Amino acid sequence: MEKTLNRVHPVSDPEATYFLQVSWEKDLGTGFSLLLSDCQCAWTGKVSEADISREAADMEMDREKYVEELRKALIAAEESAGRYNFVIS
């Protein structure tokens, strides 16, 4: 299993700091788990391969392109800095 941990400053509250851990087995396209924490509380979730396919189809986006955008937004935070915004709700 691979994991990444990134610091997130959401546009909804730029002074706040969250930590986002993403875990996956083969690649993001086969599904992944998320853990989001503000160091006081933590929230978890799972995204299945079917969820990814459905979301890509809903967005009328090639599935592989969608998975690449997920990778950039969730895993490659340093190389994508300033390109993606997070809103915590």
Whether the per-residue pLDDT at 15 is higher than 70: the answer is yes
For the domain spanning 2-80, the CATH number is 2.170.210.10
Are the C-beta atoms of residues 66 and 55 closer than 8 Å to each other?
A: yes
- Residues 56, 59, 62, 64, CA torsion sign: negative
* Secondary structure of 13-67 as H, E, C letters: CCCCCEEEEEEECCCHHHEEEEEEECCCCEEEEEEEHHHHHHHHHHCCCCHHHHH
Phi, psi dihedral angles at 84 (to 5 degrees): -120, 140
pLDDT above 70 covers a percentage of the chain that reads 93
55-83 confidence digits (pLDDT tens): 999 999 999 999 999 998 888 766 665 67
Query: Across residues 4-27, what is the average pLDDT?
Result: 90
Q: To the nearest whole number, what is the mean pLDDT of the chain?
A: 90
